[in-house]
Structure 1
Amino acid sequence: MKITAIHLYAIHLPLRVPFVVSYHSYNHMPSVIVKLETDEGIVGYGEGVADEHVTGETWESTYHILKNTLAPVILGSNPKNIENLHDIMNGAIYGAPTAKAAIDIACFDLIGKKLGQPAYQLIGGRYHDKFPITHVLSIKEPEHIAEEAASMVDKGYDSFKMKVGTDVQKDVERIQAVRERVGNDVSIRVDANQGWKNSATTLIALRSLRDLNLDWIEQPVLADDIDGMVFIKSKTDVPLMIDEGLKGSREMREIIQKRAADKVNIKLMKCGGIYPAAKLAHQAEMAGIECQVGSMVESSIASSAGFHVAFSKKIITSVELTGPLKFTKDVGNLHYDVPFIRLTEQPGLGIDVNEDILHELTVFQDVID
């Protein structure tokens, strides 16, 4: 099997409501969809959703790297040779994990379809039967975010991830308002997205949050401040998760060596796709560090890829892949059985891509053949 054509689609995924985190507010999610054609007539889909605040990539740069750098070097390759394919991509360009993830995901879709197996069977088989879905709460005024949380509890959710990372005192008020509104039996996770900047500010917040029974605090300090995470961890019993601070195996080694976190958040867009994500999970398992698979708010394509990784690994104990629930239109049909997600046994990623919607959402496109 050989890759004979690579189609690129730069799209805007329309959000139901703006998605607000510490560093940006999104009215839509810019994504790049990759469609690989082969000489056997099998087609595979991948996706890259860039975040310049996390990996230094943009929507535009991801598209152009795919078009001008990666697509030309993998054209004619056998997508089943995934280790070699990554070596080719790494030799062509340093970094650029989001662009590489789009290719990687499309290849796993192709391999699964070729073999008639779901992608999770290619990286260890199925371990988990289902995962609870965590609803992500964007940054809002305390009363508004508490109201949203209460409404989602009524819909069956019992787990929330709160986006914070602005003014610390205001963030504390937001978290307190949600806890008061939903009660003590609902899980709350707090993600500062680097917004508290340093360990001193984080410790101020933690003093006020000590009795709120939080599942964990995620990435309170700047991504590269691994030592800051070590210091915070020594001062609190609230579990800490690293997200932006973990991109690849080098960061994972440092996190393990310094015991800098209780949990890590693996994202396919940060590490380069399904294959590198599985490697990170193996590293974490050797150190006894629990993992989560998160997302950059992706369509059904990349969200499904993340779920395949999560379902295959015992050490992955939580997921936050809710992008498709946030869009008014999606290019795929990943199914959520709220408040759970269960994967099918369909081959590849297990989703159908609606080409009509794909073209409707496309801003610009190219084909390399």
Structure 2
Amino acid sequence: MKIISVEAFPFSLPTRRDFRWAGMLGELGNFVAVRIETENGVVGYGEATPLPDWGGDFARHGGETLGTVINIIRTVIAPALVGQDVTAVTSAAQIMDRVAVGNVYAKCAVSIALYDAWGKCVGLPVYKLLGGKVRDSVPVAHMVGLMPEADALEEAVMAVEDGVSCLQIKGGTDAERDIRLIGALRARLGDGVTLRLDANQGYGHAKTATATVRRLVDAGVSLVEQPTEGLRYMAEVTAASPVPIIADESCWDVNDALDVLSARAADCISVYLAKAGGIAGACKVADLAAASLMQCDVNGSIESAIGTAANVHFALARPAVSLGAVIAISAPKGQHPYRVAGHYYDDDILAEPMQVSNGAILPLDAPGLGITIDEDKLSAFRCDK
């Protein structure tokens, strides 16, 4: 099952509306596709969704772009992997770490493609390669981006009407706005909906962040994600908070997770395949969290169908990943099951829509990632022609 080629190229998808969060300068919907082909004709697909303006605490992680991901894959990773066994994913991860420091988005895209090809080679979906599913579906938490309060309220209400019971509300740029919005949402939606406010480190010093979290609790928030920056400040806020605090920017890989646990800096961890450098790295984070009785979610930068499928397989197979997943529900144009919930792009590169039930994505049971890529669409959405 030797690898004969590793390709990387950019593509983009049309968004349903503008989605933003604190500190975000670019646009959603821009990706790097990775295509790995083996000597027996099996093709595996991977994806990266790099954002140069988003990263870890104190800019210690992140900074990758479409260009850097493509370049490092083409010039460094691909030459090192050609000729390797596509099913030897652990060895491939070691090779990538040896030839390139950091560059976790690039490594993640290749990792996803390797798992897709491996699953296709043996006729199994990726979640079975990860040990089998521990849940029957993946509940989706719809992201409500930074937008005027009336628009955010409308977006959230429509998503709940579609069937989701968890919302991630982007905030962090104006605490008073966030408190008003959470209060309005709780009054409108009642107690049956989980309201998760994501501040993207926006509430400043620990004392300020702690006071803001307390007011958000009074307004009806269920969880608060990354209210401040740095483990010391996060630990102060977590110790004082009556609701769970989620670490996102503060926790990228398993080493960060160990530091978060040691500092008691959060109650939950938001896991990205990309932050951990791929599927295996994300599993390490989730398994450490499980051993520490911490809940996780699977999150990202709203991937296309390739990255979303990888997220679904990961969430199906890891016990700790029990919080609502902040991921897309992928579907071709005109076939999305919902008006709003999980509906970020007007079109996608898969041939058939993902199946859902009550706001949750059902298992993808075909071999590999379990989706069929529409090659014509992928070609049409390429950005390098």
Q: CA deviation at 1:198?
A: 3.0
| TM-score normalised per structure 2 | 0.91
Distance 2:329 2:68 in 1: 22
Partners of 2:167 and 2:370 in 1: how far apart?
27
Equivalence for 1:320 = 326
CA contact (8 A) 1:142 1:178 kept: no
- Taking the aligned partners of 2:127 and 2:197, their CA distance within structure 1 comes to 29
CA RMSD across the alignment: 1.5
AA at the equivalent of 1:235? A
Cα distance, 1:334 vs structure 2: 5.0
Aligned to 1:286: 291
Out of 335, 338, 346, the residue aligned to residue 354 of structure 2 is 335
Q: Specify whether residues 136 and 336 from structure 1 end up closer, same or farther in structure 2 by C-alpha distance, changes over 3 A only.
A: farther
Q: Distance in 1 between matches of 2:367 and 2:197?
A: 35
Tell me which of 34, 59, 67 is aligned to 2:74.
67
TM-score norm. by structure 1 comes to 0.94
CA contact under 8 A between 2:196 and 2:221: conserved in structure 1?
Answer: yes
CA contact (8 A) 1:219 1:241 kept: yes
Answering whether residue 347 of structure 2 is matched by residue 347 of structure 1, we say no
The answer on whether the counterparts of 1:112 and 1:347 sit within 8 Å (CA) in structure 2 is yes
Superposed displacement of residue 110, structure 1:
0.6
Q: Deviations over 1:161-210 (max 9, x none)?
A: 10001021122122222222222221111111122233223123123212
1:352-363, aligned counterparts within 5 Å? 352-363=372-383
Amino acid paired to 2:241:
T
What is the match of residue 169 of structure 1?
176
| Change in CA separation of 1:105 and 1:334 when aligned onto 2, cut-off 3 Å | farther
Matched residue count: 363
Counterpart Cα distance in 2 of 1:152 and 1:301: 23
Q: CA deviation at 1:311?
A: 0.4
Give the aligned partner of residue 117 of structure 2.
Answer: 110
- Partner in structure 1 of residue 334 of structure 2: none
Q: 8 Å contact 2:33–2:109 — kept in the other structure?
A: yes
Q: Is the strand fraction higher in 1 or 2?
A: 1
4+ aligned runs moved over 6 Å, structure 1:
none
Please say if residues 34 and 47 of structure 2, whose CA atoms lie closer than 8 Å, have aligned partners that are also in contact: yes
Question: How far apart, in 2, do the equivalents of 1:70 and 1:304 lie?
Answer: 23
1:87 and 1:361 map into 2 onto residues whose CA distance is 32
Instruction: Report the Cα offset of residue 335 of structure 1.
Output: 0.4
| 1:197-236 superposed matches below 5 A | 197-222=204-229, 225-236=230-241
Deviations 1:202-240 (A, max 9, x none): 123123212244221001112xx0111111111121110
* Of 307, 311, 314, the match for 2:312: 307
Counterpart of 1:93 (choices 89, 100, 108) is: 100
User: How far apart are the structure 1 equivalents of 2:329 and 2:276?
Assistant: 19
Residue 281 of structure 2 is aligned with which of 273, 276, 286? 276
**Percent of paired sites with the same residue:** 30
Query: Tell me, what secondary structure is at the counterpart of 2:213?
Result: helix
Correspondence for 1:23: 23
Aligned AA (2:268)? K
Unaligned runs of 5+ in 1: none
Structure 1 residue 27, shift from structure 2 partner: 4.2
Letter of the aligned partner of 1:311 in structure 2? L
**Bigger mean CA deviation after superposition, 60-69 or 316-325:** 316-325
Residue 9 of structure 1 aligns with an amino acid whose one-letter code is F
Q: Counterpart in 2 of 1:256?
A: 261
Partner of 2:249: helix, strand, or coil? coil
- Give, as a single letter, the amino acid of the residue that structure 2 aligns with 1:293: V
Q: Secondary structure at the match of 2:83?
A: coil
The one of 65, 89, 94 aligned to 1:58: 65
Show CA shifts across 1:266-306 (max 9, x none). Answer: 10111111111111111111211111111211011011111
Distance 1:26 1:213 in 2: 31
Task: Please tell me whether the aligned partners of residues 297 and 323 of structure 1 are also in contact (alpha carbons under 8 angstroms).
Answer: no
Pick which of 313-322 and 94-103 moved more.
313-322
